[in-house]
């Protein structure tokens, strides 16, 4: 049966460890709630950490596949939160019209998303034009096709024209596959999307097909690699991605709990890495309280390792007494019966035991002073 003293020690250790983890988790929840209430303003995060959190949240809320580096380029190079609605006309077929075109980073974003969906080609139909403030805007409907083909000579010869385009690097070329007109007749569009452009789409197509034969120019179906040249001039949000980016940048979402559990762990252990910093008086107060409570719990746990019952003198405890007296009851002798070093603690007078063979009264007389 476990001695009562040992039970108390184990109970104190268990309670101190449980309290330590309870404080860690509770303060992690408090930090997360402070971040949600202030849209992230209660904390200062390093740039890389903040960007990675935003990328993860955008992909989670959008539920689409896109490369992280493409999203990172948009967040780093486009002032998404500063995009304003165009004031002079509206269109019920699109989410919103902006005061400036999307630009090349958004164009790369939409092209990458199309490629992740397996889109291979696209075509468009111009539905009209509107002149506002001395500028012409074009409304087009884009049709997307999913017909990936092998680059084998047979497939290219029978169904596609192969277009070799010189890349910026003179040692590399890009292969564009443009289907024949007969091949396109059997195709069915995967989806249609309405967008507005600030440039003539026909002129854009003529620019990238300039110099190629008429049979290629008249097909009207283009490789998905050219989609970015269309989207770069778009002034509308095709699928609400701009709104999604703005919500995430402005902090209109629940922050990940794991980041603030990490901050709570760094605080309670007093490590202080500095990648997340408090930015409000309320959070600073929580940090001070948690640090103090963490130190108290650690102190209780460590003291429980050396806990002893009240009234028990460590110097006269059985272990210390055996060390001074030895197994034979002779003061100052070790297990071999030899006397200890003169400088060793030979015990207190009250701890001495009668030497074997000596009369108790003689032993008592030896202990009297003088």
pLDDT digits (tens, 9 = 90+) for 146-170: 875 544 444 444 444 444 444 444 4
What does the mean pLDDT of the chain come to?
75
Task: Collect all residues with Cβ–Cβ distance below 8 Å to 176 and sequence separation of at least 6.
Answer: 162, 163, 165, 223, 225, 226
Q: Residue 360 — pLDDT band, cuts 50, 70, 90? A: low
Q: In the predicted model, is pLDDT for residue 358 greater than 70?
A: no
Percent of residues, the chain, with pLDDT higher than 90: 17
pLDDT score of 361: 53
Q: In the predicted model, is pLDDT for residue 21 greater than 50?
A: yes
Give the three-class secondary structure for 242. Answer: helix
pLDDT score of 285: 95
Q: In the predicted model, is pLDDT for residue 290 greater than 80?
A: yes
Average pLDDT over residues 73-95: 75
Q: In the predicted model, is pLDDT for residue 132 greater than 50?
A: yes
Around 163, how many Cα atoms within 13 Å sit in the side-chain half-sphere? 21
pLDDT score of 27: 95
Domains of the chain and any CATH numbers: 4-40+255-304 (1.10.287.70), 75-249 (no CATH)
Average pLDDT over residues 322-341: 50
Instruction: Let me know how long the chain is.
Output: 370
pLDDT score of 172: 46
pLDDT score of 261: 93
Whole-structure pTM over 0.85, yes or no?
Answer: no
pLDDT score of 181: 67
């Amino acid at each position: 049966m476990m001695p009562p003293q040992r039970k108390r020690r184990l109970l104190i250790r268990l309670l101190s460890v449980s309290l330590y983890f309870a404080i860690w988790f509770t303060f992690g929840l408090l930090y997360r709630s402070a971040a949600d209430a202030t849209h992230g303003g209660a904390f200062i995060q390093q740039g890389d950490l903040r960007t990675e959190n935003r990328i993860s949240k955008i992909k989670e809320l959008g539920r689409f596949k896109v490369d992280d580096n493409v999203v990172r380029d948009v967040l780093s190079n486009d002032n998404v939160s500063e995009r304003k609605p165009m004031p002079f006309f509206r269109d019920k077929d699109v989410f919103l019209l902006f005061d400036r075109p999307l630009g090349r980073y958004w164009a790369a974003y939409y092209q990458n998303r199309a490629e992740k969906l397996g889109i291979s080609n696209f075509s468009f139909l111009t539905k009209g034009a509107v002149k506002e403030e001395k500028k012409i805007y074009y409304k087009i409907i884009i049709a997307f096709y999913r017909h990936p083909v092998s680059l084998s000579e047979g497939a290219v010869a029978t169904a596609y024209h192969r277009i070799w385009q010189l890349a910026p690097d003179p040692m590399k070329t890009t292969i564009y596959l443009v289907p024949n007109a007969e091949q396109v007749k059997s195709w069915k569009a995967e989806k249609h999307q309405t967008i507005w452009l600030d440039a003539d789409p026909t002129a854009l197509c003529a620019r990238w097909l300039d110099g190629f034969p008429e049979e290629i120019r008249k097909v009207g179906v283009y490789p998905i690699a050219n989609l970015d040249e269309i989207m770069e001039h778009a002034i509308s949000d095709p699928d609400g991605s701009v709104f999604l980016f703005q919500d995430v940048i402005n902090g209109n979402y629940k922050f990940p709990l794991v980041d603030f559990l990490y901050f709570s762990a760094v605080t309670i252990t007093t490590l202080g890495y500095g990648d997340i910093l408090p930015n409000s008086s309320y959070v600073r107060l929580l940090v001070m309280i948690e640090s103090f409570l963490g130190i108290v719990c650690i102190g209780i746990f460590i003291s429980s390792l050396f806990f002893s019952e009240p009234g028990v003198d460590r110097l006269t405890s059985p272990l210390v007494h055996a060390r001074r007296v030895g197994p034979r009851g002779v003061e100052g002798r070790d297990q071999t019966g030899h006397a200890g070093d003169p400088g060793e603690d030979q015990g207190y007078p009250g701890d001495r035991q009668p030497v074997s063979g000596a009369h108790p009264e003689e032993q008592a007389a030896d202990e009297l002073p003088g």
